[in-house]
Amino acid sequence: MSRTSKAYIAGIYEHPTRKAIDKTIPQLHMESAIGAVQDAGLTMADVDGYFCAGDAAGLGGLSMAEYMGLDVRYTDSTETGGSSYVIHVGHAMNAIAMGKCSVALITLAGRPRAEGVATLGTRDYGNSLPDLGFEAPYRPVVTNQYAMAAMRHMHEFGTTSEQLAWVKVAASHHAQHNEHALLRDVVTVEDVVNSPIITDPLHRLDCCVITDGGGALVVVSPEVAKTLGDRCAKILGHGEAIKHLNAGQVDLTYTGAVKSGPIAFDEAGLTPADIDYVSIYDSFTITVVETLEDLGFCEKGQGGKFVSDGNLISGVGKLPFNTDGGGLCNNHPNNRGGITKEIEAERQEPILVETGDHGHDRPAKERYLGRGQGLIADEHDGFLVADLLVGSLNVAAAEAGAGGRLLLGRPMGMAASGEAA
């Protein structure tokens, strides 16, 4: 069924570096921006809208637009952690619909690995943080916040470490095909549960990687998309929501996806039953389990069973996820995994441009499932639905046949501070 769209994703770029010792954050933004704009078949002079978040240097959009030489008439610096870039796509879509811009550029960059960011350290958001007096004395860190969610899920529903491990196993099966993935070795359930405990009950292999790098997206109006051929991904729906601490009365067994997911599904006219592939934010294995439940792929409490026995492995299970290896194996720049999910989603497009309609090559996936719909979701409750060509790195997945729908996602607000890991 053909659906109209207010905007399209026209260009993507994921920076290939995983440790940027010799690059600055503005430089990573710039290189990612150029890559995405070229991928769209456009130039930097075509960009009239710019979106960034707290990772951008200086005064955000103001400083970065000057650095990149952009002449824009619309900017947005919404900051919601890793979900910022999913929300930016929705905001870009709305800005385009209102005539505020026609070519929107979204960028991300970070150097946490090169800078030696400690995974077990507390995050400093300044002395003006509203919940500082209630949280800071307990020195919350991301790992123990997610560990509390995992432990509660285990207590409430009987979820096991072995079930969580299957999420990592699936990610590793996909990462082996990605030449840029930080971790490419395939692991087993036994490997995961026998890896060192980081914060009970989470093991080291339950945790995402820390990488440097960046990424960028180009969102364009329908009029611009028509000039770029059929390579653009149609955005069908968008939803946002916020899950917060509720003055301490917080249930750690669900994410904000219970609110934002239905909004995007409704706008797109889709249901979980329409989806054949998901791209889910995977800061930790528990993140994926809870998000799948909250999006309606299984009953609450059944996520552990749902992800087990290879159900998320492309060509093996019923719902393959994160075909690049995700944050668990491939890339998680600056603790902001949302944009990588969007990039991998649009990357599924199996159109091979050998000579380049616009002077550049865009290699296709080796295998793909066919055309379908996709939902891009993020932990801070941002969801988008896009009309994409669904692809997979796994040969067996291609043999599953053409046709399908795609869900790309990231859950929301699991960390006690409300920050995405």
pLDDT tens sequence across 293-322: 999 999 999 999 999 999 999 999 999 899
pLDDT tens sequence across 246-259: 777 788 999 888 99
pLDDT score, position 290 = 95
For 258, the 3-state DSSP assignment is helix
pLDDT score, position 378 = 44
Judged against a pLDDT cut of 60, whether residue 374 lies above it is answered with no
User: What's domain 8-114+209-409's architecture?
Assistant: 3-Layer(aba) Sandwich (3.40)
Judged against a pLDDT cut of 80, whether residue 143 lies above it is answered with yes
pLDDT tens sequence across 153-207: 999 999 999 999 999 999 999 999 999 999 999 999 999 999 999 999 999 999 9
pLDDT tens sequence across 405-416: 344 433 333 322
421 contacts 275 by C-beta, under 8 angstroms: no
Q: What percentage of the chain reaches a pLDDT higher than 90?
A: 52
Question: Of the segments 106-120, 234-248, 251-265, 370-384, which one has the largest average pLDDT value?
Answer: 251-265
DSSP 322: -
201 contacts 151 by C-beta, under 8 angstroms: yes
pLDDT tens sequence across 43-81: 999 999 999 998 898 898 999 999 999 999 999 999 888
Q: What is the pTM of this model?
A: 0.84
Tell the residue number behind the tokens 């996806």, with chain if given.
257
Task: Return all residues near 399 (Cβ < 8 A) that are at least 6 apart.
Answer: 315
Which residues, listed in sequence order, are joined to residue 353 by a DSSP beta bridge? 362
pLDDT tens sequence across 330-369: 999 876 677 888 888 777 654 333 322 323 333 333 323 3
pLDDT score, position 116 = 80
Average pLDDT over residues 134-146: 83
Q: Domain coordinates of the chain in residue numbers?
A: 8-114+209-409
pLDDT score, position 124 = 66
* Strand-strand pairing, 367-378 and 382-392: antiparallel
Q: How many CA atoms lie within 13 A of 310 on its CB side?
A: 10
